[in-house]
Amino acid sequence: MPTYIVLLGPPGAGKGTQAKVLAEKFDLPHVSSGDIFRENMKNDTELGKQAQAYISKGELVPDDVTIEMIRERFSRSDCKNGAILDGFPRTPVQADALEQMLRGFGGRVNLVPYITAPVQVLIERLAGRWTCRANGHIFHEQFNPPEKNGICDLDQSELYQRDDDKAETVLHRIEVYQAQTAPLISYYKDRGVLAEINGFAPIEEVSADLMFALKY
Ligand code: AP5
C-alpha cells in the first residue's frame, strides 16, 4: 500500500527541513511544489515565467497551473509507492485534486502532520534561511549553520537567500497562508488524518515527534 504524507504549516514552520528527513527515512521522493517552481524559474521555462510573478509577491500560483505541475510530477514512476508532499496542497481545490490523483494509484493521504510555530519565530527563521543552489538543502545562519559560510555541507554548492524571504513578502505569505491554506486544517481533521506537531522546538525534537506520529 503506497504511503502519502502531506506536510502542512505556515511558511518557515520547517516543512522542507522535515520533509528531507522523512524522505530519507522512508525512502520516498520529496515532492516540494516550491522547489519545482524554483527549478523552473532557474531554467527560465514557460512554467517558471508564469510562477515568478506570483512567487515574488508572495501570492499563490493559480490552482490549475499548480495542479497540472503536480500531476506531471506524479506521472513519474517514483511516486507510485508514495511521496512526502511539501507545499502541496495549499487550497481545498488542490486537496480535492490530490485525492483524485491518489485514487488513481490506489492510494490516499495517510497522514498530515500540521507543523506550527509562533509568527515571530517564522519571521526570524525565514530571515536567516540559506538554501543550496544545487539541491535545495536548507540551513539557518543561527539554528542550523553550515560548516563553511555560504557553502552547502552536503554537495558543496553555493548557498543563497530566497527573494521571497524579504520581511514584507514573508508577512504577506503568512497572511496568504491564513486565508487560503489554513482551511486545510479542518479539511484533513474531518478526514481523521491530521496530527498537530509543535514546530517550535529544535529540529531533531520535531523529527522525533513526527516519527512518533507516524508510529516509528
Ligand atoms: P514554498 O517553497 O513551499 O514555501 P513555504 O511554504 O512558504 O515554506 P518555506 O519553504 O518558506 O518554509 P518551510 O516550512 O519549508 O521551512 P524550512 O524547513 O525551509 O513556496 C514558495 C512559493 O511558491 C509560495 O509562496 C507560492 O507562491 C508558490 N507555491 C508553492 N506551492 C504552491 C502551491 N501548492 N500552490 C500555489 N502556489 C504555491 O525552514 C525555515 C528555516 O527555519 C530554515 O532556515 C531552517 O533551517 C530553519 N528551521 C527549520 N526547522 C527549525 C527548527 N525546528 N528550529 C530552528 N530552526 C528551524
Does residue 162 carry a catalytic annotation?
Answer: yes
For residues 82-106, average pLDDT? 96
Residue 53 placed within a domain: yes
Helix axes 15-26, 203-213, angle to 10 degrees: 50
Residue 63 placed within a domain: yes
Instruction: Tell whether ligand 1 has an atom less than 6 A from the beta carbon of residue 14.
Output: yes
Q: Is the dihedral of CA 47, 91, 212, 197 positive or negative?
A: positive
Residue 131 placed within a domain: no
Q: Whose CA is nearest to atom 27 of ligand 1?
A: 55
Q: Does the pLDDT at position 216 exceed 80?
A: no
Q: Whose CA is nearest to atom 5 of ligand 1?
A: 11
Does residue 15 carry a catalytic annotation?
Answer: yes
Residue 185 placed within a domain: yes
Q: Output b/e per residue, 13-23; b: 16+ Cβ within 10 A.
A: bbbbbbbbbbb
Residue 138 placed within a domain: no
Instruction: Write out pLDDT tens, residues 156-192.
Output: 999 999 999 988 899 999 999 999 999 999 999 999 9
Q: Average pLDDT over the chain, rounded to whole?
A: 95
- Return the pLDDT at 168: 87
Q: What percent of the chain has pLDDT over 90?
A: 94
Q: Residue 89: phi, psi to the nearest 5?
A: -80, 165
Instruction: Write out pLDDT tens, residues 107-160.
Output: 999 999 999 999 999 999 999 999 999 999 999 999 999 999 999 999 999 999
Instruction: Tell whether ligand 1 has an atom less than 6 A from the beta carbon of residue 203.
Output: yes
The single residue of 76, 129, 191, 215 carrying the catalytic annotation is 129
Residue 125 placed within a domain: no
60: exposed, middle or buried (Cβ count in 10 Å: 0-12, 13-18, 19+): buried
Does residue 108 carry a catalytic annotation?
Answer: no
3-state secondary structure of 135: coil
Residue 162 placed within a domain: no
CATH number at residue 7: 3.40.50.300
Number of domains composing the chain: 1
Residue 207: Cβ within 10 Å count: 19
> How far is it, in rounded angstroms, from Cα 113 to Cα 15?
9
Does residue 57 carry a catalytic annotation?
Answer: no
Does residue 76 carry a catalytic annotation?
Answer: no
Instruction: Tell whether ligand 1 has an atom less than 6 A from the beta carbon of residue 12.
Output: yes
Residue 156 placed within a domain: no
Q: Does the pLDDT at position 215 exceed 90?
A: no
Q: Which domain holds residue 183?
A: 3-117+168-213
- Return the pLDDT at 2: 87
Instruction: Write out pLDDT tens, residues 96-116.
Output: 999 999 998 889 999 999 999
Q: Whose CA is nearest to atom 29 of ligand 1?
A: 34
